[in-house]
Structure 1
Amino acid sequence: MTTTPVDFATHAQALDEADPLRDFPGRFLGSDDPEIVAYLDGNSLGRPVKASADRLANFVTEMWGGRLIRGWDEQWFDLPVTIGERIGTAVLGAAPGQTTIGDSTTVLLYKIARGALALRQGRTEIVLDRDNFPTDRYLLEAIAGELGLTLRWIEPEFTGGVTAQDVAAVVSERTALVVLSHVAYRSGYLLDAQAICAVTHDAGALLLLDLCHSAGAVEIELDSWAVDFAVGCTYKYLNGGPGAPAFAYVRAEHLADFTQPIWGWMGRESPFEMAQGYVPAEGIRRVISGTPAIIGMLPIQDMLDLIEEAGMPAVREKSVALTEFALELVQEWLVPLGVTVSSPTDSARRGGHVTIDHPEFRDVTARLWQRGIIPDFRRPHGIRIGLSPLSTTYAEVLAGVAAIRDELGKH
């Protein structure tokens, strides 16, 4: 039976009313802004948490203005590790002592990849895929050039991603490092990290995961999966704000021997001694280089408060339900207009966003933004519907997909 738009509207309202997380969207700034009809780009930049406005204002007047340089001794020096451990525990399935934040994702990816490769001296190949985010590809090309290593490329399907079988086909005794995104930035494909980790380790290599599009949207268990290294940003599903510092994870068994190439005073043993020569700090602090961006770390704490309150299982359940509803609408309204679905239809293999393609979507996206419908556009002709579980309602999904239908129907 064909579902009518009225039925979908009733269904969206019922889903919002029954949602166990229905009170969370109201805790984000912009949730009551009439000019924003549907924010569908939480996988690029998350909405600010309302509590962050007070936290940032209080920091300027009380901590920065009131404590001044004393703030370093009282709190700031340890903040990269303390917030890192909260991310590890609440989001990454990582025991304390393995996660820190600071630098951009690009810089941390460089530091972790170089440190990982140093643990596999004599091996000459890095495995990655051609559909990974451009920075990951560019950076690994640069590292391969620096060290005289060979890149082994995987070619995933357009609507899918890298499988354990794909990895098994290219790893060998020459492989030093496998670098993959846990959720593909374009298709939203969620890889089987545990299976890929096992294949990587069977070859004697190490696995580095990019968690930018999965942290805060899907359940992650780095420790139990035996992942070696991970990096990820905090401005998407962790709502840290534009340019918020990234996080890095180094598995405990690697820390004693792990060295990264950007040596700075805050990653040194006894940094305030200002001693001659670099000796890496014990534990995860050795990943830190220079003075961390304290102000950029502050909003992350408010989103972690919400995630800890909701719990990642509930967050993931909402994420799956939102993307399922979006796909239902796409199949009913958009596929008949020539739209194709470029994301996995199996929720077990899909992250927190859905990508759809149509030749007119570049122009359609510009018109949607003018209407207060905000997804994002990905070349060559895809719209990503990014659904941040704690800030997005089913009504927004309905309004967004309906607007895409209306815009396509005009031409």
Structure 2
Amino acid sequence: LNDMTRGQQLEWARKVLLALSHECNIENNTFILLAGSYYCRDIQNHLPYCVLPLAGMRMGERMAFLKSQLHPGATAPQPDFVQRQQNRAVNIGATSLCVRLHELLQNMPRYTWEQIGTLPFDNGIYIVYETGEFYHGMDRIVRVGTHTSQNRLRRRLTDHFVRENHDGSIFRKNIGKAVLNAHNDPYLSIWALDTSRPENRRYLDPIKNADTERRVSEYMRSHLTFTAFPVPEKEQRLRLEEAIISTLNRTSDFGPGDKWPGKYSPETEIHTSGLWLKQGLDAKGLTEAEFALLQKNMQRHSADGGREFIRLRAERPIAAWKIRTALPLPLLAVERYCHAFLHGTGENSWICAVQKRQHLYYVVESRRLTYALPGLGSGGI
């Protein structure tokens, strides 16, 4: 199945569902799916009642679990691990919420580590994506995070991507653990310590530590991107953060790809959940009311970002290859003032936004931005 094209995979799933429908009532029967995630992903969403007891387990763990069911005396995963997997088995309703969450966030502007300073708000929740990780044809969420102190969203992201101090970022610490564990590096035991504590500083190897920090930075900056949305109130930020995390973790078909680096993590919660985190996995999931609140927050953010503009159709697009002059234009301006126009535009639709005060003209095509300054030429980002 892994060698099939996406179209062939969907056709295979259609045939499987058709064969099942000839054998039983799909709408009323409960199905226990023991296959891998690639085999289940296009089938389970069409089965109203399905359970995936092996979701998130590696091959060895799957075999041990299955043997324990056939032979009570056989070695099996620890009870708490099995329970965690069973908690992940949910019906189509919860799966749909996970898909809708990905769809909602997929349309938000995407940032790289170099664009942290361009975020147009101070308080919010950030969502991280990783190269090579997909979910239902969309980029898969690999981390959800926020901040407790007010006005520290950018600072928190800077802690993760810019400041090379893993004691100040559990995100960096967890990625470093996976990097070191993948190479059976004995420095893993030292990296896991909180070396900001005086009693642990004597174990620190400055050269090895700096090299590991560099490797973590290189990986994060080249493989991770993020989006974010504003949530001003601390209590609401913390609740939505854990609710999103739990919704992802408890959805049966959500999980890491076969080559996800997090599978090398020594932390069970990380390599089984497919998320670079340990907290919030078993919290209460998102409710429909909370999901509606997320939608409202994002729509309001889009509307605020575009309130200084007149919105109209461009008579014709400015083709990227016609750009001749590279003029400096702060990306902050693009993100703040064009955010609203990045939503709801089709692949071939063009929107022209005019910012009255400075007379800057932005033309937006999907996620590629071009701009023109009257009398000065044009440039692009």
TM-score of the superposed pair, with normalisation by structure 2:
0.28
Q: Which has the higher contact order (CA 8 A, sep 6+)?
A: 1
